Structure 1
């Protein structure tokens, strides 16, 4: 599997295009907006979109998901059901922030911890990692040692917890108890900004470093 990262929306949210090189099938992780750019990127890669995966229900991660579903005829999988209230607020959230209008929608499949998602011949594990939002999930590809963590963790920082139903202690627990055990060598694509590895963050990220919790 290979991955292309395309920042979308005024928030420069990292939409990931996952490609199964064996089959030419693809999945989008968190298509928050800019559908024409996503369409062009898929065409340039020469792949066929099969699924949409969502880490959580904030508008910059999911506002274009239903548009993509309708245009390409593909299912939406994720996030976990506790983020339904965020998706239900999309019409008001997009109006308030100046995003293109988006309707509330229902994913084809809500995800739970321990589930898997697949496209082409690729499979990713699902980890429920609440704290930034209550229904946030992370997608982990064991074979290529790559995780898509949404707004749980960033290079040098962590997700905000001042939104409704966010919780700082829960977020720290998700990172240290759910992500770190995957391995220091695991690279991750955050919802915004540059990629990193869990090992690097365990040393250098002051919010969740091992040194802070000794």
Structure 2
């Protein structure tokens, strides 16, 4: 499985494209807002002859959903989120202009993902883990054979997701990390929603929020 990170919007949000040798591709948390960002995403997909088959959100804060409609419309795919984050998604239009995104266009989910579900594309399968705390319906996607986790805003290199937004809770987030993320092997690479990738083992040893 190939993991490609494209960083978009003023929040420097990491958008991920996953594909295998079948060229089927999933787009996770498209943060592309400006036309140039749309073109960058579209160009990468075209140049690599990818077929977008699924659109996933780890959670629905504004910086992770700005490109949902573009991807959904361009590639005729439905949006998949955890049901407990639908309220988070529906709130985005109410504050998007104040955050500097007056052209935000909403797309609502066509299906939902729950703990234990499997996301399949090509010859690849991702496990869904429910990891609330940063957002009420936050999920992460894990591929065991290749030891890769697309982690959204749960765990960062040397840090954790903020918990002061609506639906956030510090104790819940710490529990999600300890019970879900830290249950993974130490050599699993975590690709977060912002900043560089890290590993489970590194965060167990060095993350100041989790010692």
Shift, 1:19, TM fit = 1.0
Question: Which residue of the partner structure matches residue 57 of structure 1?
Answer: 60
Please give the residue correspondences for 1:105-120 in structure 2 after superposition, counting only pairs within 5 Å: 105-120=107-122
Shift, 1:105, TM fit = 2.8
- TM-score using structure 2 length: 0.94
Q: 1:18 and 2:21 equivalent?
A: no
1:60-117 CA-to-partner distances (Å, cap 9, x unmatched) read: 1112112211111112222x11111111122223211112522333212111111111
- Structure 2: where are the runs of 5+ without partners? none
Shift, 1:44, TM fit = 2.1
Q: Secondary structure at the match of 1:5?
A: strand
* Aligned mates of 1:116, 1:46 — CA distance in 2: 25
**2:195 alignment partner, one of 173, 187, 193:** 193
Structure 1 stretches of 4+ moved >4 Å: none
Question: Which residue of the partner structure matches residue 178 of structure 1?
Answer: 180
- TM-score using structure 1 length: 0.93
- Any conservation in 2 of the 1:25–1:119 contact (CA below 8 Å)? yes
* Aligned mates of 2:94, 2:39 — CA distance in 1: 23
* Aligned mates of 2:110, 2:123 — CA distance in 1: 20
Question: Which residue of the partner structure matches residue 149 of structure 2?
Answer: 147
1:105-153 CA-to-partner distances (Å, cap 9, x unmatched) read: 3212111111111111211000000000010000001111000010001
Q: 1:124 and 2:126 equivalent?
A: yes
* Aligned mates of 1:86, 1:103 — CA distance in 2: 15
- Any conservation in 1 of the 2:78–2:109 contact (CA below 8 Å)? yes
1:19-61 CA-to-partner distances (Å, cap 9, x unmatched) read: 111x111111100223222111111222111111110010111
Please give the residue correspondences for 1:55-94 in structure 2 after superposition, counting only pairs within 5 Å: 55-78=58-81, 80-94=82-96
- Structure 1: where are the runs of 5+ without partners? none
* Aligned mates of 2:73, 2:83 — CA distance in 1: 21
